[in-house]
């Protein structure tokens, strides 16, 4: 029981033994407890520090019990004072923390919202997209890489797109050319157009991206893991740069429902031009196919057709001949 007011187990046992035999000396009590003399001496020193025993006036060098009613009350009062001091320090600490948080929030408010915020995890990303889409009042621009979209993705996007379209928000999507070969994604793009939105396609997109009202944008922290972490940008400079990128690709894109545009250089299609450029960059067929949202087989077929067209015997020679024909820009 006395352990709760600061006594160690040995001091507690020795004190109880002394209460039962107040006139016994330390050796007798140690024998009763079956302790070595050193153990009993250490416990007695602890009792002396707590003022539960004091030097005897009758026997020099020995300690005797202080009246428990007095000593234990004093010990309890000491513990209460320590507790009160601890509570006071805790209250002062809480007040200091509250002031620190208040100062931090005030400084944060003076500096304005964070220009870049990291959003973690698919659920938080979806919640972020929903929140900013609900706040959007004028226009939304979207890059959709990776070609054909899953039915789950299309199903999840429809309610937000419908809400925006019904509020007369300008909705503009840029997909990859390869979605034209996927019926579900094609039907979704047509649905957007039928409800007042606009869709164009390009051969290649750099990443997933959404821009709301030319003021806020979201892009993946890692383009290869777009659902893991994203950057939410509110600074005017980065958002303006992303908006310029969107506008550039929008001008280069083919309107949905229209045939793909042809490049005047050798009458190349956009997809053929994109593959030549990526081949010149040293990318493998697998990486090129992933970037264009097509199969590796399709990528290799187009490469083979280009090689046959120019009479090239290798990919290296294809690049050289394409450059001579002016099909590759410096």
User: Which among 208, 329, 311, 317 is positioned nearest to 273, based on CA atoms?
Assistant: 329
User: What pLDDT, in 10s, does the model give residues 35-51?
Assistant: 887 888 888 888 888 78
The average pLDDT across 95-108 equals 75
Q: Give the pLDDT band of residue 60 (cuts 50, 70, 90).
A: very low
User: In sequence order, which residues have a C-beta less than 8 Å from that of residue 4 and are 6 or more positions away?
Assistant: none
Domain residue limits, the chain: 2-66, 116-255, 263-324
pLDDT bucket at 213, cuts 50 / 70 / 90: very high
Q: One fold for both 2-66 and 116-255?
A: no
Q: In the chain, what's the furthest Cα-to-Cα distance?
A: 120
Q: Which of 96-110, 200-214, 265-279 has the highest mean pLDDT?
A: 200-214
Residues 138-184 pLDDT 10s:
999 999 988 888 888 888 888 999 999 888 888 999 998 888 888 89
**How far are the Cα atoms of 15, 68, 107, 168, 257 from residue 62, in angstroms, in the given order?**
15, 18, 65, 96, 106
Does residue 257 surpass a pLDDT of 70? no
Closest CA to 182 of 207, 154, 149, 152: 149
Amino acid 246: pLDDT: 92
pLDDT per position as a tens digit, 275-323:
877 877 777 878 887 777 777 777 788 887 887 777 777 777 777 777 7
Check residue 271 and give its pLDDT.
Answer: 76
DSSP helix/strand/coil, 280: helix
Sign of the Cα torsion 125, 128, 133, 136 reads negative
96-105, 108-117, 245-254, 306-315, range with the lowest pLDDT = 108-117
Q: What is the CATH number of domain 2-66?
A: 1.10.10.10
Residue with tokens 């083919």: 254
Q: Are strands 170-176 and 198-202 parallel, antiparallel or unpaired?
A: parallel
Class of CATH domain 263-324: mainly alpha
Burial tier of 202 (Cβ tally within 10 Å: 0-12, 13-18, 19+): buried
**Main-chain phi, psi angles of 281, to 5 degrees:** -80, 0
Question: Coil, strand, or helix at residue 116?
Answer: strand
Which range is least confidently modeled, 75-79, 86-90, 182-186? 75-79
**pLDDT score at 270:** 72
Q: pTM score > 0.85 for this model?
A: no
CB atoms within 10 A of CB 80: 11
Confidence of residue 111 (pLDDT cuts 50, 70, 90): low
Higher-scoring residue by pLDDT: 31, 75:
31
Whether the pLDDT of residue 69 is over 50: the answer is yes
Of 219 and 268, more confident? 219
Cite the beta strand spans of 84-163 per DSSP E.
116-120, 139-144
Beta-bridge partners for 117: 232
Domain 116-255 falls under CATH 3.30.870.10: yes
């Amino acid at each position: 029981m006395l352990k709760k007011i600061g006594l160690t187990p040995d001091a507690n046992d020795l004190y109880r033994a002394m209460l039962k035999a107040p006139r016994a000396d330390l050796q007798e009590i140690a024998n009763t407890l079956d302790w070595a003399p050193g153990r009993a001496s250490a416990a007695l020193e602890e009792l002396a520090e707590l003022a539960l025993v004091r030097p005897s006036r009758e026997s020099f060098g020995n300690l005797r019990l202080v009246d428990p009613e007095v000593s234990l009350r004093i010990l309890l009062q000491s513990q209460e004072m320590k507790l009160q001091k601890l509570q006071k320090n805790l209250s002062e600490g809480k007040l200091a923390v509250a002031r620190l948080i208040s100062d931090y929030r005030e400084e944060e408010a003076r500096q304005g919202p964070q220009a870049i915020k990291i959003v973690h995890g698919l659920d938080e990303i979806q919640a972020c997209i929903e929140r900013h889409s609900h706040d959007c009042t004028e226009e939304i621009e979207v890059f959709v890489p990776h070609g054909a979209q899953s039915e789950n993705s299309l199903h999840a996007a429809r309610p937000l797109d419908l809400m925006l379209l019904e509020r007369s928000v300008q909705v503009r999507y840029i997909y990859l050319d390869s979605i034209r070969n996927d019926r579900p994604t094609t039907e979704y793009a047509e649905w957007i157009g039928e409800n007042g939105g606009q869709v164009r396609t390009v051969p290649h997109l750099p990443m997933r991206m959404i821009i709301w009202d030319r003021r806020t944008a979201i892009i993946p922290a890692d383009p290869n893991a777009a659902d893991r972490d994203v950057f939410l940008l509110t600074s005017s400079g980065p958002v303006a740069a992303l908006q310029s990128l969107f506008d550039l690709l929008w001008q280069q894109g083919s309107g949905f429902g229209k045939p793909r545009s042809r490049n005047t250089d050798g009458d190349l299609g956009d997809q053929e031009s994109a593959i030549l450029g990526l081949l010149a960059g040293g990318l493998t067929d697998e990486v090129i196919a992933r970037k264009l949202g097509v199969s590796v087989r399709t990528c290799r077929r187009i490469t083979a057709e280009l090689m046959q067209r120019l009479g090239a015997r290798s990919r290296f020679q294809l690049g050289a001949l394409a450059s001579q024909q002016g099909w590759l820009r410096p």
